[in-house]
A and B are shown apart, each in its own frame.
Chain A
Amino acid sequence: MTGVQLRNLGIRYGQVEVLRGIDLDIPASEFIVLLGPSGCGKSTLLNAIAGLQDVAEGQILIGRHDMTNVEPKNRGIAMVFQSYALYPRMSVRGNLSFGLKVAKVAGPEIEKRVAHVAKMLQIEPLLDRKPSELSGGQRQRVAIGRAVVRDAGVFLFDEPLSNLDAQLRSDLRVEIKRLHQRLRSTMIYVTHDQIEAMTLADRIVVMKDRIIQQQGTPDEIYNRPANTFVARFVGSPAMNFLDGTIKGGDAVVDGQAVPIAAALSLPLADGRKVIVGIRPEDMAIHADDTGSGLTVEVDVVEPMGPEKLVWCKRGDIGLSVKAPSSATVRPGDRVQLGLAEKKLHIFDKETGKRI
């Protein structure tokens, strides 16, 4: 079992700083997801762990050994790419066995391992085909097989599902999770898709602007986002944000007081500018005009099957609310939004950090 540690890692392209001061401790057998928007450096970080990207400063430890300057093949890693990166002129069997041949593994042993992996991933009927004769899902399955056959302690996935259509993506997602449960290898998975991150990860590392924004379990990331960026990036539709000013323990939003005391451990001083965050599922729509919630106008209603997504507006403020499919709201209705006080997320207006 192999853990991975990154110590104060920095990466530069010439004068441009891509990553700075990355510290990350990945215990053996953990499934960790690096999540972030494109250009945040998550793929660069993965390439650095693989040894495909030079490191400007810091250290990479794999299985407690300093691997910072070790060749990719000697790091005990396997990698799966977004573009599959199958060798086009080799059969599936050739693709699976190439790494083992290079490593001079004995012929019978290669055959045994290829057969084992082909069975595990159900690609046995494809072994003699060329990559061009496979569908996208089959190709990625083969690419995963090529990684598994290496018997590596650490698996690196670089957005492996991003080129697939929605149905295949969720199928293969389950398959990758099953693979992890079976192999118990350390897996480092890069994606910009927060659903993949939530469903697969033991722990999510959210990255943006060259640094780690937050790391934690999917539950922590979702329920206690460290700042407005993480709060907005994780969750679909995104969390709603309301600008407010503290007055008498409540946040005054657009002239209406919203009680927030239950979401805070300590009351805030009057006059402090805050951002009140609330997820679409943490609000309820009341048709009656009781005056206890936020008064809004219904803008658009999207029926999703099991629920309805109601887009509301109040002046310049837009809010999305998840309502049961039985809800009978129509565009133009004036309704009250009940905000679950304990589920509010309060961020500092200046820094965007959670209070």
Chain B
Amino acid sequence: MSPANTHAPVRRNALAAPLSRMLVYLLLIVTAIVALVPLYVMIVTAFKSMEEIRSGTLLSLPHSFGFEHWWKAWNSACTGLRCEGLKVGFVNSFLITVPSVVLAIAAGAVTGYALSFWRVRFANVLFTAMLIGGFFPYQVLIYPLVRITSTIGLFNSLAGVIFVHVVFALPVVTLLFRNYFASIPIDLFKAARVDGAGYWRFFFSILLPMSVPMIAVAGILQVTFIWNDYIVGLVFGGINYAPMTVQLNNIVHSTYGEREYNVEMAATLLTSIIPLLVYFTSGRWFVRGVASGAVKG
């Protein structure tokens, strides 16, 4: 750009800055407060003693930091009749999330690959059917899926929960990968075929190494989605494989005597810690993955 072109807009911005900037900042600050106040209340309440909570100072900082509520939420809070705390649910959520995410990404990537690089018969029909399935609200599909999983003997089992999660994840993960692969020049595929690479060789040696951003995006989406899931875990996991979210709900809703707000708040924070960690550590990847469509390797 020539200097003449750059100067004019800069000067105009400099003049317009104070008022419009202040308005923008004001709006951002208000939005941030609205979004963060509940989180703040949760955090401070989790550290307060019940006495202090009862005094009604919702927004004040705790007088003393007590970790015993956190410990109780993790180890001994009662969910229904059992009083083993959230740790059982944490383990269950872990056992559900990791295989579900890995399987969903593997299946989605391979399906997206087949749909975009190989001339599969009726590929468009298959893909459309998959998307229609994906856009159905899944509450509608719960009952048929209960019938299916119980028929094949997966109901009330860890495998059943994972199966249902993979089924629900497949359309969106396939869509992500298919669109990502569609942006990869077909010449690359041709070059690899001339070089002798077959179906799996091209996928593993060339495509997968290029797909790290997309794998990260799909991973973030699915980890948070599956970790935060309530209904699938509740319906298909049974008592033994209830995920953390289900246990949290049981803790909050099954109280005898006084409600222990501090324990409940601590339990809620503990449950949300994994998705929060995922967002904080992989936000960079997420942005890169979303933007990667515009960047040609």
Contacts and interface: CB of A to CB of B under 8 A. Distances in A.
Interface of A: 47, 50-52, 71-73, 77-79, 81-90, 98-99, 102-103, 131-132, 146, 150, 158
A83 B297 CA distance: 11
A83 B194 contact: no
B210 A103 contact: no
Given A83-B185, A85-B185, A102 B206 contact: no
B196 A78 contact: no
A78 B190 CA distance: 11
Contact of B195 (A52, A102, A158): A102
Nearest to B211: A89
Nearest to A94: B205
Interface string B163-198: 000000000000000000000010110111111110
A50 B194 contact: yes
Nearest to A87: B206
B193 A72 contact: yes
B196 A103 contact: yes
Nearest to A52: B190
A77 B297 contact: no
20 contacts: A47-B190, A52-B194, A78-B194, A79-B191, A81-B187, A81-B190, A84-B187, A85-B190, A86-B191, A87-B206, A89-B209, A90-B206, A90-B209, A98-B205, A99-B194, A99-B196, A102-B196, A102-B201, A103-B196, A132-B297
Contacts of B194: 50, 52, 72-73, 77-79, 99
Interface of B: 185, 187-188, 190-197, 201, 205-206, 209-210, 297
B192 A87 contact: yes
B197 to A, nearest CB: 6
Contacts of B196: 72-73, 99, 102-103
Contacts of B197: 98, 102
B59 to A, nearest CB: 52
Given A72-B194, A73-B196, A85 B188 contact: yes
Contacts of A158: 187
Contacts of A150: 195
A82 B187 contact: yes
Contacts of B297: 88, 131-132
Given A83-B185, A102-B201, A50 B190 contact: yes
A85 B191 contact: yes
Nearest to B201: A102
A196 B273 CA distance: 63
Contacts of B191: 79, 81, 85-87, 146
A141 to B, nearest CB: 15
A272 to B, nearest CB: 49
B190 A79 contact: yes
Nearest to B184: A88
A97 to B, nearest CB: 10
A102 B204 CA distance: 13
B187 A98 contact: no
A71 B196 CA distance: 8
Contacts of B201: 102
Nearest to B191: A85
Contacts of A71: 193
A85 B206 CA distance: 11
Contacts of A51: 193
Contacts of B192: 87, 98
B189 to A, nearest CB: 8
A51 B297 CA distance: 26
A73 B187 contact: no
A257 B238 CA distance: 100
Nearest to A149: B195
Contacts of A52: 190, 193-194
A98 B194 CA distance: 11
Nearest to B206: A87
Contacts of A50: 190, 194
B113 to A, nearest CB: 16
A85 B193 contact: no
The 5 closest A-B pairs by CB, nearest first: A99-B195, A73-B196, A89-B209, A88-B297, A85-B187
Contacts of A87: 188, 191-192, 205-206
Among B190, B191, B193, B197, residue most surrounded by chain A Cβ atoms (within 10 Å) = B191
Nearest to A158: B187
Nearest to B209: A89
Contacts of B193: 51-52, 71-73
A330 B193 CA distance: 58
Nearest to A81: B187
Contacts of B188: 85, 87
A131 B206 CA distance: 13
A98 B210 contact: no
B195 to A, nearest CB: 3
Contacts of B190: 47, 50, 52, 72, 79, 81, 85
A98 B209 contact: no
A78 B187 CA distance: 13
Nearest to A147: B194
A247 to B, nearest CB: 55
Nearest to A78: B194
Given A78-B194, A102-B196, 17 more contacts: A47-B190, A71-B193, A73-B193, A73-B196, A79-B194, A84-B187, A85-B191, A87-B191, A90-B209, A98-B192, A98-B197, A98-B205, A99-B194, A99-B195, A131-B297, A146-B195, A158-B187
